[in-house]
Structure 1
Amino acid sequence: MPTYLAFLRAINLGAKRKLPKDAIVAAVEGLGWTDVRTHLNTGNVRLDCPLGSRREVEAALEEAFGEAAGFEVPTIVLTPAELREVADRAASYAHAGKHYVSFLKEEPSPAAVRALEERSTAEEVAKVGGRAVHLMLGENYHQARLTNAVVEKHLGVATNRNLTVVRTLVERWCS
């Protein structure tokens, strides 16, 4: 049975967008899917399911999470191989600051990629590879101009994780 990794967008932020990991697991298991695991309480989920299409998996998860949470939960699904590729690509970037990865729902157009990457500066760099955007930010990363919101403006629905979490998930879920 195929394994997928799901990344939920904008949960457990503020008082009204709560979806605890126990509820996430229950929603996925309620679909009849197996080997469900979570990491942290930020919407990182590993699962096995019989569906063969990423879009089918995303749609089913979004419906289940929406019912469980009472609000829309955009979900981005990758295969373990895709997540490993994201981590491998990160290793090729030499940057001393903070490194985040925004996972994209859809593959961006070349023009959209150019528009985003052209916003890079010496302190803030965006590199797009497939459905992942590497945001490499300087010491003042809390005031960065290149953010997940900017990624979404140019490339569509995205959710962001720091590189440490990405690498941890690769170690735990992609072996």
Structure 2
Amino acid sequence: MTTHLALLRGINVSGHNMMKMEVLKTTLEAVGFENVQTYIQSGNVFVDCTEENAASVGFKIKQEIFKAFGHEVPVVVIGKTDLEVCFANNPFLKEKEVDTKKLYVAFISKELKSDSINDLKISQFKPDEASIDASRIYIKYAVGAGKTRFDQKYIEKKLNVTATIRNWNTITQLLNIFENKN
């Protein structure tokens, strides 16, 4: 069995793509996922299954959400190692007195090229900052996520990918859940 973390984008936000996590849990269990566990209402779902390929797991979850809820929801699936690497490689954590409430990570559906940061033209969003590492974009917002145009929609459009963003507190909690599962 492999444990996967499915990060659903754009559910239960401002009355859009509403779904109760308990119903989602039951839906995924009914199609063979085991030990389904959700964390908060914004679409963080742990599943165990024999399938090791994250993209295949994401596709199946996306299909089941559409069948059960009628929502077309992008899904990015990651593993425990992805979160561990996320912690190890976040360049903003190395700064003295960094405010972790301003740190976010965009999880991307595919590995990015090292020059993808140029495509984002992050300098036009100063003082917000960003750094790319494989299939993650580390973000440090100067004011906050709600007051910037450097968001998931912008990232998706510029890089032609699926992206979903989580704040640092959520990422910390998700890693804790992963660690307690094993």
Residues 1:171 and 2:171 aligned together: no
State the number of aligned residues.
Answer: 175
Query: Where in structure 2 are there 5+ consecutive unaligned residues?
Result: none
Q: Displacement, 1:4? A: 0.5
The one-letter code matched in structure 2 to 1:51 is E
Paired residue for 1:137, among 122, 131, 141? Answer: 141
Residues 1:110 and 2:85 aligned together: no
Q: Give the SS at the match of 1:19.
A: coil
Q: Displacement, 1:13? A: 1.9
Give the alignment's TM-score, normalised by structure 2. Answer: 0.86
Structure 1 equivalent of residue 155 of structure 2: 151
C-alpha distance in 2, partners of 1:74/1:141?
Answer: 20
The one-letter code matched in structure 2 to 1:21 is M
Q: Displacement, 1:118? A: 4.3
The one-letter code matched in structure 2 to 1:139 is V
Q: Displacement, 1:119? A: 3.0
Residues 1:52 and 2:57 aligned together: no
Structure 1 equivalent of residue 129 of structure 2: 125
Identity among equivalent positions (%) equals 23
1:141 and 1:104, CA in 2 relative to 1: closer, same or farther beyond 3 A? closer
- Root-mean-square deviation (Å): 2.0
C-alpha distance in 1, partners of 2:46/2:29?
Answer: 11
Query: Where in structure 1 are there 5+ consecutive unaligned residues?
Result: none
The one-letter code matched in structure 2 to 1:12 is N
Q: Displacement, 1:120? A: 6.5
C-alpha distance in 2, partners of 1:72/1:50?
Answer: 25
1:8-87 equivalences in 2 (<5 Å): 8-87=8-87
Give the alignment's TM-score, normalised by structure 1. Answer: 0.90
On the 8 A contact 1:62/1:75 being kept in 2, the answer is yes
C-alpha distance in 2, partners of 1:102/1:140?
Answer: 14
Stretches of 4+ moved more than 6 A in 1? none
Q: Give the SS at the match of 1:110.
A: coil
Q: Give the SS at the match of 2:83.
A: helix
